Chains A and B, each alone.
Chain A
């Protein structure tokens, strides 16, 4: 925990050092979304879901709670209910946490959530772009790789006790040394010849599928295409972060069958 605090502090100081124009943006709570969508078993793509759109590379973004079951944003006041399934937290909302009432470090601790999360690594897909932790990619992974990685997952590949509950899935080998769903290029390593102002501190999504067990206990899979507005395949610093674009499939019959169309 203290390590995290130090990292946060370092990042915060970096933010203070880097930010050119700090403007006080009033915190506006989005009005509570009362419309209900009947989300059936199937595949859905959500575009430009607005998380913390005022986030900087320095400080942790405001947590953003989302319901895959109902396709809506859930206010933070309901964190200990079964109303949300995934939370986007941390730097650029890049750490995905789930809702589990028994897990001390889940935001849903104390609540009724039954959630879990697992990152599927697909060796064949990884071989196309991935070199190693904190190393630039061979090439920026194309969108078809995301779709292939997603399609390859036809069922939940692990038992429930292998799903993470306390830990989230975040940036690849960034902070904690674990596999992640995105490469955070701190120094602009991916494009060493480019102006670091435009290519450093970029979050490149990776074609890795996340298994999500929802708060109510249904299984889902998702790939995150981008955290930038408009989901550019090749993001730069000029792209606005805090807008998540992802595809997910949810199975509502309680089974682990995720070969959904």
Chain B
């Protein structure tokens, strides 16, 4: 009985409360007219690779499948209705390997039909696994000695660099691993392009005395977009 009374009392109160509430209409914010709606790379086998578009930061992040070794990308870009984009949809971007390692300075400018402009920076990356190198000199106090090659007399000395996740050479695409010799001062004295490259081994030729003077050097390997440097130096000298 008491509960019924309470309910009867509560009902008008609820109705009053409902009657008093003001209805506020919240305007849906109008979408900017200069947006990139989608960005996808179409020159890949089968399904396109989509980029992540961030309007707030003005970025497009594309993770390129590293195992395609794309040297050129062909993006298809969709923009707000009536907007234009420059560079236009379909315009090729080349030298991708270089842009992946050195950064791509590419911006897309979208001009809305109201004339307003928005800029998007293209960020290219891959998920290529990091490469690791086995030390040629396991003991830093006892550097392994490599003897100079003498090209003039066709005397070449070879050595193997072993490690993990090297990208085998892609001759047709001009992708080769490189081997750099870093001096004790930290300068790259010489870089050799390698043509004998497997996933766990790179066959290398010791440089000549003209290319790399006698001394201690750390060996640095760049394989596609990844680089690693041995911790311990090797000693390069003439026989």
Contacts and interface: CB of A to CB of B under 8 A. Distances in A.
Interface stretch (B21-29, B67-75, B230-238): B67-75
Contact of B71 (A5, A77, A101, A102): A77
Interface stretch (A78-86, A147-155, A173-181): A78-86
Nearest to B169: A1
Main secondary structure of the interface of A (DSSP, over half): loop
B10 interface: no
Interface in A81-110: 81-82, 101-102, 105-107, 109-110
A79 B72 contact: yes
Contacts of A106: 172
B184 interface: no
B97 to A, nearest CB: 11
Contacts of B71: 77, 79-80
Interface stretch (B39-47, B77-85, B131-139, B142-150): B39-47
Contacts of A105: 172
Given A78-B92, A80-B43, A109 B68 contact: yes
Nearest to A101: B45
A230 interface: no
B172 A80 contact: no
Nearest to B170: A109
Given A81-B43, A81-B74, A110 B69 contact: yes
A110 B92 contact: no
A210 interface: no
Contacts of B58: none
B132 to A, nearest CB: 24
Contact of A109 (B94, B95, B172): B172
B142 to A, nearest CB: 34
A186 to B, nearest CB: 24
Contacts of B195: 5
A210 to B, nearest CB: 20
Interface in B133-176: 170, 172-173
Contact of A77 (B44, B67, B72): B72
A112 interface: yes
B172 A101 contact: no
Nearest to A75: B94
Given A110-B45, A111-B44, A78 B72 contact: yes
Contact of A110 (B42, B44, B74, B94): B44
Given A80-B70, A81-B74, A111 B172 contact: no
B172 A79 contact: yes
Interface residues of B, number: 19
A77 B94 contact: yes
Most buried by B among A77, A82, A110: A110
Contacts of B92: 77-78, 81
Contact of A112 (B42, B69, B173): B42
A90 to B, nearest CB: 11
B6 to A, nearest CB: 72
A63 B172 contact: yes
A78 to B, nearest CB: 6
A234 B136 CA distance: 58
Contacts of A110: 44-45, 65, 67-70, 173
Nearest to B96: A80
A123 B44 CA distance: 39
A106 B92 CA distance: 20
A63 B69 CA distance: 18
A8 B42 CA distance: 35
B42 A80 contact: no
Contacts of A5: 195
Contacts of B95: 77
The 3 closest A-B pairs by CB, nearest first: A110-B68, A101-B45, A107-B172
28 contacts: A63-B172, A77-B71, A77-B72, A77-B92, A77-B94, A78-B94, A79-B72, A79-B172, A80-B68, A80-B71, A80-B72, A80-B173, A81-B72, A81-B74, A102-B45, A105-B172, A106-B172, A107-B173, A109-B170, A109-B172, A110-B44, A110-B45, A110-B65, A110-B68, A110-B70, A110-B173, A111-B43, A112-B45
Interface of A: 5, 63, 77-82, 101-102, 105-107, 109-112
Given A77-B92, A106-B172, A112-B42, 4 more contacts: A5-B195, A79-B172, A110-B70, A112-B45
